[in-house]
Structure 1
């Protein structure tokens, strides 16, 4: 029997919401997951499991064989300086294996990238769309490898690959099992800060993004990029909204240079001492000073991308975390 969709990264925020959207549409779904992956995110869901890793070429080929479309959500999203080899393996080589397998099978792949792979606004008044040129400002390993993974997909387009690239913004919503971007909300609840980063984000709902990704698979134009972003707001505004939702004291000020230096380079120093890399490091601080403001007009026109309010996304993410006993 032919399977409608293969979803990679199905235990992550985007992938898990994708699986649920597909099942609601009565699609048949296969997932590629590591042996060590938690079964909890997919408990009770009617999916076919293939055990393997996107970095295993043979496992990818097995997973892709017999499906009509691949939604490639698997990625290492850590923002830092020290994970280049690991992120090249997962983000670049994994994407190459998936795209090659899709090309071999003659099926479409939707590469789920990030707005972090795009140029950034030079000021809060500028909004970036798909036609913007230039490199992202940050050279952290996540940004570099997401750009490289996109380049692999574009390269294979010339060889006949049927591919669409989507670039989601900062996503919140339910089913954030790891958690991923929801860590920001949990951190504000558990460790409220009087200061917030100086930059801005494009906040969106992962459920809206997942629905648009399926639309991209169904009717997206081959070789085209679609930004799936949302409300362009400063981090100060976003953190204040999150704090109000979780009942924490909201931040009042933007982070000054001294705080940025202490937080960023203090995290780097701790990483060198401990042999790891903490979540808060100078790469994260650098990116949080930038204005990641994006325009989703193309996706709204061509994919019928519809976005709910970011406040609703914050509320629903928080209610889900409470229901699943994260707080």
Structure 2
């Protein structure tokens, strides 16, 4: 049997669909019934009878940070896909990020070792990869620099250390570091917010850029890696490096609106993150833009996926077609 943590998220739900469609026996944890309905919605993008597949999953209510209730997840498990994580760039959430991303991952690693799991695939992030030097493409070999990282990136890096520690204790592992993951179903968070923003015909776009990858490519890479003889390796998963302007130029026409044409100025960003700090610390509001994130918006980081291409002869799907598919699903929602 296969265990998928974080199965109610973007990557996890698409991974569940792949595994169940291929006839695998799969277990996944969940926190609320409402989260399972999100999975059913995602399945509905790809099949006319999503409920039939959702009901084939062995759902277990469990929180990866609550060690006492996790043993039931591992009965009969041979492979683990650890997708569960908290995404936040608010410095106030650092302790919660550490608990979920670092301690939660340590729990998964320790229980995998205890229960004789054959292999674990951990979903990390390009946020846990060291920044480029002299504008060269970022690779898996880049040196980590915590001073330039967000609180989210720091905890994902620390979570990776737990996974590597597990490999030293006899657990076969692989790690994937996806870029910004493009896929349908979660329109108010993550990459889904780009589609929501573009649909409103907004005028402004943020500067800078990063690496993007489709959720299908991430799932393909994960399943290939966990079923391979590869172990104790990490792989960047980036289909295309783009500016945010280039991304909106691809999304907007598919939604029947004009793409944004005005770049948010450095002055506006510097003012906003400072005002955001004030509203957060004085009025208790949730941070929307931290200083670290604001600084990163001025840069365009380019990532190399040559390692996975060479090892698996991996081919990424057409990003433009994937964006078109997402736009169609967004329009239908």
Q: Is the shorter-chain TM-score for this pair beyond 0.5, marking a shared fold?
A: yes
Name the counterpart of 1:42.
39
- Contact 2:206/2:297 (<8 A) preserved: no
1:146-204 CA-to-partner distances (Å, cap 9, x unmatched) read 0110111112221112111110111112233664321122112226133322x211111
Distance (Å, rounded) in 2 between the aligned partners of 1:220 and 1:191: 48
1:64 and 2:74 aligned = yes
Measured after TM superposition, the shift of residue 306 of structure 1 is: 2.4
Structure 2 counterpart SS, 1:38: helix
- Out of 115, 120, 125, which is 2:126 matched to? 115
- Contact 2:127/2:149 (<8 A) preserved: no
Name the counterpart of 1:175.
185
- Contact 1:17/1:175 (<8 A) preserved: no
- Contact 2:210/2:243 (<8 A) preserved: yes
Cα distance change of structure 1 residues 135 and 11 upon mapping to structure 2, 3 Å threshold:
same
Cα distance change of structure 1 residues 304 and 19 upon mapping to structure 2, 3 Å threshold:
farther
Cα distance change of structure 1 residues 87 and 206 upon mapping to structure 2, 3 Å threshold:
same
Name the counterpart of 1:321.
330
How do 1:289-304 residues align onto structure 2 when only pairs under 5 Å count?
289-304=298-313
Measured after TM superposition, the shift of residue 227 of structure 1 is: 1.1
Name the counterpart of 1:93.
103
Moved runs in structure 1, 4+ residues, more than 6 A?
A: none
Structure 1 counterpart SS, 2:174: strand
Measured after TM superposition, the shift of residue 300 of structure 1 is: 2.0
1:28 and 2:38 aligned = no
- Contact 1:55/1:94 (<8 A) preserved: yes
Higher mean C-alpha displacement, 312-321 vs 278-287:
278-287
1:234 and 2:234 aligned = no
Structure 1 counterpart SS, 2:181: strand
Measured after TM superposition, the shift of residue 62 of structure 1 is: 1.6
Cα distance change of structure 1 residues 188 and 136 upon mapping to structure 2, 3 Å threshold:
farther
Cα distance change of structure 1 residues 310 and 248 upon mapping to structure 2, 3 Å threshold:
same
Structure 2 counterpart SS, 1:82: helix
Cα distance change of structure 1 residues 138 and 189 upon mapping to structure 2, 3 Å threshold:
farther
Measured after TM superposition, the shift of residue 136 of structure 1 is: 5.3
Structure 1 residue runs of 5 or longer lacking an equivalent are none
- Contact 1:169/1:201 (<8 A) preserved: yes
How do 1:1-327 residues align onto structure 2 when only pairs under 5 Å count?
3=1, 5-35=2-32, 37-43=34-40, 44=51, 45=54, 46-107=56-117, 108-122=119-133, 125-135=135-145, 138-176=148-186, 179-190=189-200, 192-197=202-207, 199-219=208-228, 221-323=230-332, 325=333
- Contact 1:78/1:279 (<8 A) preserved: no
Distance (Å, rounded) in 2 between the aligned partners of 1:293 and 1:147: 19
Residue-pair matches, total = 319
Distance (Å, rounded) in 2 between the aligned partners of 1:229 and 1:19: 21
Measured after TM superposition, the shift of residue 268 of structure 1 is: 2.5
Cα distance change of structure 1 residues 187 and 283 upon mapping to structure 2, 3 Å threshold:
farther
- Whose RCO is larger (CA < 8 A, sep 6+)? 1
1:225-275 CA-to-partner distances (Å, cap 9, x unmatched) read 011111011122122222233233323343322111123222222222342
RMSD: 2.0
